[in-house]
Amino acid sequence: MEMRSLGGSGVRVSSLCLGTMMFGSMGNADRDECVRMVHRSLDAGVNFIDTADAYSRGESEVIIGEALKGRRDDVVLATKAFNPMSRDPNHRGSSRRWIVQACEDSLRRLETDCIDLYQLHRPDENTDIDETLGALSDLVRQGKVRMVGSSTFPAEAIAEAQWCSERRGHVRLRCEQPPYSIFVRGIERDVLPTCRRYGMGAIVWSPLNGGWLTGKYRREAGGVPDESRFARLQRGAWRFDSPGAERKLDLIPQLERVAADAGTDLIGLSLGFTLSHPDVTSTIIGPRTMEQLESQLPAAELQLGDAVLDCVDELVPPGETISRTDVAYEPRALRHVAKRRIART
């Protein structure tokens, strides 16, 4: 499997990264199968594993810790913090208080003495980035974290963090983890160029757009398959009657024809598309079952030609995100009326 440089960190990671959001009660409750999936990935050449404390409320990290016994030194291990871990209002976010505790909790669950890449799962609009980077810098100096990154940060937040690191003497964000797929190309406009400007790696998530780009969702099927992620997580935003969903349903057969002409399937085309961007370091695959893992691993060896990528561009133009429901982060001013209007009495 191809190894790529993770920005300017000097660390080399596999072009496919094993994402483990589906390990545990959120997806696959069979821990033994999850462990086998980790081992199968490592045997296939994957050396990069990504998890988060919030995945199955820590269970994913526990599974990874078990699976890596005896093989920890062969893996670049990444995890994240920010999302709520309890009802306690201080068991979330990017404050110094929580980051220090969350890191210790992740180290314990992962059964390791150091996290290779510790990431901020989302921007925290309630915390000064100087406070957050100061805490992360201390963790690096203490040897508990080797490098730090962000996840789903808009370009302006990445630039602000880099500015703060330079002027305050903090460690720098070494990579960003944004959503990216044929259906979600917004990061081509700003996030990927910003990562390039600051020498950051980019490890992209949801390259199959939550299952849309596997071909399992079709208009003629008349609904959401019972075993699909949409059905299990009951996400109302994934309805077939939204404008974005309608366009996706129209595009899937066309993309399947492009894939067939390229000698692959829709999964291969979708993963290969993300890996073809020069600013993408690694693509996170997030299988729930061994069967799903086996269907995605071959994409590491696939190389799509310019003619194939041109066909994709004709169907979904560069920089376009089809559905608003796929925008993973929006500032509070867009989400809350009170943040964009002056209160009047």
Q: Which of 55, 118, 180, 217 is catalytic?
A: 55
Domains of the chain: 3-335 (3.20.20.100)
Are the beta carbons of 8 and 39 closer than 8 angstroms? Answer: no
**Residue 31: pLDDT above 90?**
yes
Mean pLDDT, rounded, for 152-162: 97
- Could you confirm whether 118 is annotated as catalytic? no
Give the pLDDT confidence score for residue 236 in this predicted structure: 46
Give the pLDDT confidence score for residue 329 in this predicted structure: 86
Give the pLDDT confidence score for residue 153 in this predicted structure: 97
In the structure encoding, which two tokens stand for residue 162, read together? 């880099």
* CA atoms of 222 and 277, how far apart (whole Å): 34
* CA atoms of 67 and 33, how far apart (whole Å): 10
In the structure encoding, which two tokens stand for residue 79, read together? 């995890």
Q: What is the pTM of this model?
A: 0.92
* CA atoms of 241 and 218, how far apart (whole Å): 12
Closest CA to 269 of 259, 260, 278: 259
**Residue 235: pLDDT above 60?**
no
Give the pLDDT confidence score for residue 234 in this predicted structure: 52
Cα–chain center distance at 181: 11
Give the pLDDT confidence score for residue 227 in this predicted structure: 61
Are the beta carbons of 81 and 52 closer than 8 angstroms? Answer: yes
**Residue 237: pLDDT above 50?**
no
Query: Which has more confidence, 336 or 155?
Result: 155
| Per-residue CA distances from 326 to 152, 160, 166, 248, 270 (Å) | 12, 24, 32, 12, 16
